[in-house]
Amino acid sequence: MTATAKTRILLPTPEQAQGPFYPPSKPADQDNDLTVVKGIKGRAKGQVLYVTGRVLDTSGKPLAGARLEIWQANAAGRYIHPDDTNPALLDPAFQGYGTCTADAKGNYRLKTVKPAAYPAMSGWTRPPHVHFMIGAGKRRELTTQMYFPGEPLNEKDRLYGPTPGHERLLAKLLPPTQGMEPNALMAEWDIVLG
């Protein structure tokens, strides 16, 4: 590398609150497809959402073997959690929590449904989002949330709006690719661990 060459530094993905609905106990079914639950007939209600991306360090190096956990509300805005008092219906075919491991190039892929907004407390409705917890080797874990562009509640949100660099929490939405459900949504979101 010459003295004039610049090292590309990526900004880390901002940290966000874990929130009150992290599962108190992990479900038996915790794979990377949240749209089906082993032993339950049918598929989760709502728009199918594929989330793909890479887990990288700040130099752009892929973090092979990074562990990802996700948890989220269902398509009606309800978490599978005993403390969620939202009167929206639970969906028995929605897993609510899943895990996956990044491949040798840092790529990950999850299948879920687009979560709905939900009331957090009086005067505050959370925008649709997916919670992530990521760990890679000896790097500390990152807990964060992925949001969807164009959601009117994003800028009003008490977590998203004030977060420095919150634009790095927005996924890039793409049309479905061959082999996906015709009305599916694809979200591409790279995660950078600092």
Annotated domain spans of the chain:
48-193
Does residue 2 register a pLDDT over 50?
A: no
DSSP tag of 170: B
Give the angle 22-44-170 at the CA atoms, nearest 5°.
55
- CA–CA dist 49, 29 (Å, integer): 18
Residue 172: count of CB within 10 angstroms of its CB: 11
Residue 138: count of CB within 10 angstroms of its CB: 5
CB neighbour list of residue 168: distance below 8 Å, 6 or more residues apart: 11, 13, 14, 192
Q: What is the pLDDT of residue 21?
A: 97
- Of 78-82, 88-92, 134-138, the poorest mean pLDDT is in 134-138
CATH fold of 48-193 reads Protocatechuate 3,4-Dioxygenase, subunit A (2.60.130)
Whether 81 is a known active-site residue: answer: no
Whether 166 is a known active-site residue: answer: no
Catalytic member of 54, 81, 131, 166: 131
Q: What is the pLDDT of residue 3?
A: 44
Catalytic member of 50, 97, 108, 118: 118
What is the residue-averaged pLDDT of the chain?
A: 94
CB neighbour list of residue 178: distance below 8 Å, 6 or more residues apart: none
* Averaged pLDDT for residues 174-190: 93
Does residue 1 register a pLDDT over 60?
A: no
Whether 126 is a known active-site residue: answer: yes
Catalytic member of 50, 79, 108, 160: 79
Using a pLDDT cut of 70, give the percent of the chain over it: 96
Residue 60: count of CB within 10 angstroms of its CB: 14
DSSP tag of 115: P
Structural contact between residues 50 and 185, judged by C-beta atoms closer than 8 angstroms = yes
- CA–CA dist 159, 143 (Å, integer): 13
* Averaged pLDDT for residues 95-107: 97
